[in-house]
Amino acid sequence: DQPIESEVEGDLRFDLTMGSAIGALAANMITAPDGSEPTAVIEPLTVVDPIYPYDLLLKGEKGSATVAFVVGTNGSPTNIRVVAASEQEFGVALSAAIEMSTFSPPVVNGHSVPVELVRRAEFLPAASGADSGQDPVARLLAALRAGQVGNGSWLDKGLVPRYQVAPRYPDVLQKGSRPAGDTVIEFVVDRDGRARLPQIFTCSEPAFGWAAATAVSQWVFDAPRRNGRSADVRARIPIQFKVPTD
C-alpha cells in the first residue's frame, strides 16, 4: 500500500485531414447553424481556445457555451452572439476567442460571400487527484493555493517575451460609440514560459478585459528562473485600446 514510481508508455497517432477544411472545422466544434457541414468552402487559419473564467475555474465548475458568428468576405468574424451558455462567463469567453480567430474568405460557387457559423465549447475543470501532476493548470492552482507562486521581484532577471499577440478591438463595441479604454490583466507565467490563468484585474469596459485576457493566454516567455532553477511567477500588465481608425 505504499506509493511507488512507475514508468508508463502511451502511443499517440496523428492523422492528416487530407486538406479537408471540414475536418479542421469539425475538430474545433465549428459547424453551420443547424449543426451540419458548412456549404461554403472555408478554412480556419487561426483558432483560439477560450480562456476558462478564473472564478469558475477555482470553483471547479464545468460548463458549455454555443456562439454564432458571421465570417465576412475578409475572413474575420463579426456579428458574434451567444446562443447558449451554462454560465454567462463561458459564453463571453468563447465569444472573445472567436473574435481572435481568423478564416479564409468563404466561397460559394466561386464567389466570396459572408457565411454564418456556430462554435461550441466545453469547459472542464483541471484534473485532480492522481492526474493532477500531469495537468499544468492543476499544478499551478495547487501552487497558488499553497502560496508558492511569487512575483517577478525575486527572479534572476525580468520576464522576456518570446511570442506576443495583440488583442483585437471588441466587436461588441464597434457597433456603438467605439470608446478608447484600458484594462489590467493578471496571469501566471509557468516554469515553461507559458502564460496561464489570465484574469481581469481592472477594466474600463468588460469587453476590453476579455479581449486582452484572451490575447495574453497565447503569450510565451523565456522560462522564468530563480537561483538558476525554473519557477512559476505572477505577472500583471496594463493594456490600452485605441479608437479604431477604420
pLDDT in tens, 102-119: 999 999 999 999 999 999
Give the model's pLDDT for residue 13.
77
Q: Is the per-residue pLDDT at 25 higher than 70?
A: yes
Of 206, 214, 224, which is closest to residue 77 (Cα–Cα)? Answer: 214
Q: Is the per-residue pLDDT at 23 higher than 70?
A: yes
Enter the DSSP assignment of 1: -
Of 30, 23, 123, which is closest to residue 68 (Cα–Cα)? Answer: 30
Give the model's pLDDT for residue 153.
85
Secondary element (H or E) of residue 91: helix 88-100
pLDDT in tens, 45-54: 999 999 999 9
Judge whether 64 and 77 are in contact, CB under 8 Å: no
pLDDT in tens, 90-101: 999 999 999 999
Question: What are the φ/ψ torsions at residue 166 (nearest 5 degrees)?
Answer: -85, 145
pLDDT in tens, 130-182: 455 578 999 999 999 999 999 888 899 999 999 999 999 998 898 778 899 99
DSSP-derived pairing of the beta strands 161-163 and 229-230? unpaired
Judge whether 33 and 118 are in contact, CB under 8 Å: yes
Query: What's the CA dihedral at 39, 40, 42, 48 to 10 degrees?
Result: -60
**Grid coordinates representing 138?**
492543476
